[in-house]
Structure 1
């Protein structure tokens, strides 16, 4: 039976009022907030929001750095019956203005924006003085999240309370106890924060807040050790970088979850060898399916070859692979991945046209599904293999190329740590496949790399040129920034082999 985030949290606070809910490190003094204090504190903010005119279904923007006040704000907005719209304080003012206008927010908590009522998070009261807060239903809107890299007309996803509670209640992809310590590392406007925050707080665990801003790989290990973190999520790009810089950072964790892009098998092998007792989980899911839709727990003795599967559906989630007509295909057949069940979003805010296009009914059962636009196939055992974005695929000389397949083959070479590929136009006018590679050591034998690719890929999937970079550029959400890859120097002999 589904429940609201607020009811689930209140149950936890009543059960373990003195347990630590939040832990942060402002300066050298550690700050802790118990479940009872977080309950009172968020009640106080919810009361102020209601007094300011916020009603059930309203949208309230939250623009705060990572801090206890940020979590209080999110929970307070939900308790007021409203939906939060997370805003990254580092976002450009023009983008923030666009999001506030599009979401039709009534109030902003945190940073001041002209034209909007702004509330600050009040101090935590010594005792509870608030009553008369609205009832919150599982079907009520919990947040609006703008999809990363939105261009043109804004697009935000509507997530309901029941979507969140299903994600973190008795999960089949993770073992959570009250003794666990999660790290809040993701930007609040990135949906990995949904898992980090509510995965901790709706299970009675402790949420440790990383300092505001971007954290370097060299610093993360110290933070994890100092705070005895047991459960960690990292995007694929950050996961790879952390293994390269300080693989020992993962010692002490019992589970690391990674997703957002294809995981490199050499990195997974390196981590499994360095920390064999660690549970590594490969997660997959679009924002429209509330963070994760499938997860694959990598077995201690699992053979790591080819590509890592994205696993099986989460609890109360359904995964269907369909053909171009939207009909389910047999196991082993490629098709588009559709997500159904308890974590499918309500749709896109104020975009009825796009909602109708992407959120559809199955012709065979009438159930509602989100069309991911991802290509996948389901094995006979039900495990799903991700084959890439259908809209990321490109054609070269009439051949369809999936970049993830080429990148996976590149990272299988022992001298390549990371790789990205894309099409670039040569001065002669023809389009060529280019690879950007990060070396795993001092040397990179490009001839050997090209021979490796020819031995494993058809000729049209062998890069024509190789650009060596120190690191792949990463977006603010921790994904490879393909748009920021440098243009090849077509006159350089080192590009070719």
Structure 2
């Protein structure tokens, strides 16, 4: 099985001068060769600061090219990134840092004075600027040395709406598997907009699917992205694929579905998707493929997907479709027996992409 590091290195070898990441706000743009070098430099600095296998490195960064560089650099150093929300209350951030056993926090010029940074410093965490490192150090850090498909690559914390937040440990192989699904070959992954809050799992889709398939990550400017800003960003940067929560998809379908013009695919989910919203978008943009994705954080973003080609007029729901390549979906009864068609059962998900468990919480796992 592949690792995310292996797949990234392969893309660098195949097309080093293709564009890998672009910032919609500043216009900064890096090729795969340049991203490879930037991430190698930071990976060397991370390794020198103590990052390595089974270590979590917290990222407190603005949405930017630096955020992309930091996430890739962490996995190249063999460690796991833990993205933090700047908007989260400081107590939640403190809980997350403590539960994940984080010893290292990466900041930038926008975040280095945040309250959680003072907490981290007081607790003895080491602080590292995202622009740290040198070319000399990069030469001493072979990319992905000692990394295996089962190596911890990132930790994404649940919302905690039903109790204490849990850190979902996602492996290198799970990230590689997400990007290996055949669906991404249909054009949506050529230019993907990175705009979701990066402490939630959609960030992994927006980052790794384009990078590991030879596409380009288009980083939205920091701040809220409404329909007008979305339309402008898509038009100016040529975005082809976009993830929207079901709630945002519904709002855009009701207010201005034309703002999605120019896209090839829009992926939505996270809650039940309204058939009426899908119909509204398809009427306005018949060329656009709407994909309903289903899966908890514990299955690395998506476990199933359904491309809506046609939705019957009397449909009251949108199917969640079948499993991604390498994943399994079973509907079982209380005795763990498969249920026949038309009978309600419980969903069991397995195969590639299932998380390693909850970090530091063996009982919950």
Deviations 1:292-330 (A, max 9, x none): 011111114755612111001110111001112222212
Equivalent in the alignment of 1:451: none
Task: List aligned pairs for 1:248-287, cutoff 5 A.
Answer: 248-287=258-297
Distance in 1 between residues matched to 2:234 and 2:317, nearest whole Å: 29
Equivalent in the alignment of 1:13: 12
2:132 matches 1:119: no
SS at match of 1:18: coil
Deviations 1:326-348 (A, max 9, x none): 22212221011010111111111
2:148 matches 1:137: yes
Distance in 2 between residues matched to 1:64 and 1:315, nearest whole Å: 33
Equivalent in the alignment of 1:212: 222
2:30 matches 1:3: no
Distance in 2 between residues matched to 1:174 and 1:53, nearest whole Å: 36
SS at match of 2:364: helix
Q: 1:202 aligns with which of 191, 194, 212?
A: 212
Deviations 1:194-236 (A, max 9, x none): 1110011001111101111221222211111111111111000
1:296 and 1:309 in contact (8 A); partners too:
yes
Equivalent in the alignment of 2:58: 61
Task: List aligned pairs for 1:195-344, cutoff 5 A.
Answer: 195-300=205-310, 305-344=315-354
Give the number of the structure whose residues are more often helix, by fraction: 2
SS at match of 1:173: helix
Distance in 1 between residues matched to 2:16 and 2:132, nearest whole Å: 19
Cα displacement (A) at 1:154: 3.4
- Indicate the structure whose relative CO is greater, using CA pairs within 8 Å and at least 6 residues apart: 2
Q: 2:160 aligns with which of 132, 142, 149?
A: 149
SS at match of 2:243: strand
Distance in 2 between residues matched to 1:319 and 1:196, nearest whole Å: 24
Change (3 A) 1:177 1:266: closer
SS at match of 1:319: strand
Cα displacement (A) at 1:252: 0.9
Deviations 1:392-444 (A, max 9, x none): xxxxxxxxxxxxxxxxxxxxxxxxxxxxxxxxxxxxxxxxxxxxxxxxxxxxx
Distance in 2 between residues matched to 1:23 and 1:205, nearest whole Å: 11
1:176 and 1:203 in contact (8 A); partners too:
no
2:44 and 2:77 in contact (8 A); partners too:
yes
Change (3 A) 1:81 1:129: closer
Distance in 1 between residues matched to 2:44 and 2:141, nearest whole Å: 8
Cα displacement (A) at 1:9: 0.4
Asked which structure has the greater CA Rg, the reply is 1
How many equivalent pairs are there?
351
CA-based RMSD: 1.9
User: TM (normalized to structure 1)?
Assistant: 0.68
1:276 and 1:300 in contact (8 A); partners too:
no
Cα displacement (A) at 1:32: 0.5
2:58 and 2:81 in contact (8 A); partners too:
yes
Task: List aligned pairs for 1:414-429, cutoff 5 A.
Answer: none
SS at match of 1:242: helix
Distance in 1 between residues matched to 2:136 and 2:312, nearest whole Å: 52
Equivalent in the alignment of 1:366: none
Change (3 A) 1:275 1:304: farther
Deviations 1:37-82 (A, max 9, x none): 1111111111011111222111111111110110111111101110
Cα displacement (A) at 1:177: 5.0
Deviations 1:442-461 (A, max 9, x none): xxxxxxxxxxxxxxxxxxxx
Deviations 1:377-400 (A, max 9, x none): xxxxxxxxxxxxxxxxxxxxxxxx
2:160 and 2:166 in contact (8 A); partners too:
no
Cα displacement (A) at 1:124: 8.7
Distance in 2 between residues matched to 1:24 and 1:109, nearest whole Å: 20
User: TM (normalized to structure 2)?
Assistant: 0.91
Equivalent in the alignment of 1:414: none
1:263 and 1:282 in contact (8 A); partners too:
yes
Cα displacement (A) at 1:141: 0.6
1:40 and 1:127 in contact (8 A); partners too:
no
Distance in 2 between residues matched to 1:237 and 1:119, nearest whole Å: 36
